[in-house]
Every structure is written in structure tokens, then in C-alpha cells.
Chain A
Amino acid sequence: MTQRKLIDHAVNEVLLAIADDELVCGHRDSEWCAFAPMIEEDVAFASIAQDEMGHARLLYQLLEARGQGSLDQLAFGRPVTGYKNAQLLERKNAGWAQAIARHLVYDLYDDLLTGRLLEACQLVEVADIARLVRREERYHLEHQETWINHLGHGGDGAKARLDTALGQVLAEAGGLFEDLPAHRQLAEAGLLPGVPSDLQIEFSQRLSALCLAAGLSEPAIPSGGLGGRLGQHTADMSECLATMTEVLGRAPGAIW
């Protein structure tokens, strides 16, 4: 492959990893519809789900423009090993504490990814998408912060449940910061100002500060849950894909 082709390939890989994170996160969020603690939160969380899906759409559209297949095919038409999302995001929903803990971890990571790496990258289309996405992600982060502040200072064992959930989430969050060879290639070529693993220190500092303010225990360092970026997934991912593509699979090629 020529250098140009190598770089193009690396850009596609990196975009796919970000898009798949957003898609899978959005799907799990959407599963909260009708099950959130109160009806107002039901709408709020579903709205966030739509935001995440929208971000995935922007990125898949960019990949479509780069000749990587159609939007629908990219989102729903790949084998499970073709998805590059972090394993943490595909895990089945397991209670409201897990939902808030996982989303907080993801939003904080996403804030650093878009703010530190993507906005400053030399790929104009990617930087533009990052700026758009960040305007919504700011509110997502505020949403999760509001919740952890309330649960952290709430009664009825809420703090203990959130602490436990955050511990479980962080034990699978290492995969978010996993570098692909593609990340390193782009960083070496000067197109990306760094790689995802560079974000870990600031991530942990900010998470610690948020936990302290919310009265939660000192959070662990993200670890585990590796391999998602390389297409290695848990059984939860197969279930997630099967659910997402259930209708599409019954009538392939149907026009809506």
C-alpha cells in the first residue's frame, strides 16, 4: 500500500471506532425508554440516545463519503467482528446505577476524545463533526453529573450502589483507551495530536474530582474490557446487534 492509502485506511479505522461507540451506546440508552426511574427521565434519556445515534450517523455518513459503504450497511450490515466499539458500551443494561456510571465514564472519555484529539486534528471534516458533537455532549455530561450528585448524596443506599456500579464499569473501561495501530499511524503522521491512551491521566483526574464533589469513593483506574477496537466482543454484542437489526433482517432492502 502506498503511504496515502495507509493513511486513508487508518482514518477509516479510527472513524469506525468512534462511530461504533456512539451507535452501541445509543442503542443501550434507547433500551431505557419506558424503564427509567421517572417519566421525565425516560424522555431525557431517550433524547440522549437519539443524540448518540445522530453522532454515529454523522460519522457513518463521512465514511460513506469516503467510499466505505452505505450508511445503513455500515451501521447494521457488518459481522460482529467488524465492529470496533469498546466492550464496555455493548454490555447489557444492569440497573440505573450502572446506566449513569457507564454514561458518565463514556461522556467524560468522549469529552476528552473530541476536545483533545479530534477538534485539534488535521482532518477538517473530522474536526467539524467533533465541534458539532461537543455542543450536545456538554449537556450529556451535565446530565450525568446531576445524577451522580443526587445519587451520591441520596439516601436508601444510593451512594453504595453507585460506588459499586462505578467500580464495575471502570473494571471494563480500559477498552475505551485502547490504541489501534491506526491511531499511532495518524499521530506519527501529525494528523492526530495524540492517541486515546494519552487521555487516561486527565480522565482519572476529572473523574476523581467529580466523585469527590458527589460524595462518592475514590474511583479506580480504568482497566480491562480490552479487544473491542480489534473486533473482539462479548456475547452481549451479538445480542445487541441481533436486536438492532431484527426488523431490517426480516425485510432486507425494504424501503421505509
Chain B
Amino acid sequence: MSHEPVEETVYEVFGQTDRGEPYVQLGSLPAADPEMGLMLARELFSRRGEVISLWLVERQEIHATERLDGDLIRGTDRTYRMGEGYRVTVEKRQRLRRVKP
């Protein structure tokens, strides 16, 4: 009996910890198709109930910049552009949710 390796796709897995929260990359896995990939992702990345939703994205569909692209890291002072206030948006939203019934 021949045991040719099955053609597998590598998927990047993203998870959301709560409604409205951003999807964060959790890891990657190889699988025969999205159905199998999602099933495995559920057991691998949410078995302790960490996430409420999972995304599976084919790695080859991700378009990325060159690694260590020096020009991405600028030399000039750009702190005046930082919208510091927005960083607490997530916190504020969570606080609001706790207050609401």
C-alpha cells in the first residue's frame, strides 16, 4: 500500500476573545481543507474556552511587506501624530459594557 503524503494547505489561525475585539493571530496549522482546519483549530486554540470565534486564512493569501524593511521604521520624530486617546477605546468599551445591565 502506498502512503503518499496528502496535499495540505497551511492556514493561519486568528481568534477573537470577545465581541467587538480584534482578531489576533494564534498560530498556524496544516490541514487538508478548511473544514478539517477549522475543526482542528477549535480543539487546538479554543480548548480552554479562550476565544468566541475563529478565522482561518490560507497563508499563501496573505500579502506581506519584506521582512525588516528599514524604511518602515522612520527616523524622524512622529510622536505628534500618535492618537494616544484611541488606545484606551477598548478599555472604555469594556468599562461601558460592565456598567450596562
Interface residues on B, range: 10 to 19
Q: How far is the CA of A43 from the CA of B43 in the complex (A)?
A: 7
Flag whether B29 is at the interface (Cβ < 8 A): yes
Known: A146-B35, A146-B36. A156 touches B43 (CB 8 A): no
Asked if B98 CB lies within 8 Å of chain A CBs, one says: no
Residues of chain B with a CB closer than 8 A to A44's CB: 39-40, 43-44
**Does A218 have its Cβ within 8 Å of any Cβ on chain B?**
no
CB within 8 A of B1: which of A38, A146, A156? A156
A143, B2: Cβ atoms closer than 8 Å: no
What's the dominant secondary structure at chain B's contact region?
Answer: mixed
The answer to whether A142 touches B39, judged by C-beta atoms less than 8 angstroms apart, is: yes
- Measured CB to CB, the closest approach of chain A to B1, in angstroms, equals 6
Residue interface mask A127-151, B partner, CB < 8 A = 1: 0000000000001001100100110
Chain A window 17-41, contacts with chain B (Cβ cutoff 8 Å), 1 for yes, 0 for no: 0000000000000000000001011
- Report if A214 contacts B (CB, 8 A): no
Q: Which of A47, A50, A157 has the most CB of B within 10 A?
A: A47
Instruction: Tell whether, in the assembled complex, residue B47 and residue A47 are in contact, meaning their CB atoms are under 8 Å apart.
Output: yes
Known: A38-B30, A40-B40, A40-B44. 5 other contacts (CB 8 A): A40-B29, A40-B31, A44-B43, A47-B44, A146-B36
Interface residues of A (CB under 8 A from B): 38, 40-41, 43-44, 47-48, 50, 139, 142-143, 146, 149-150, 156-157
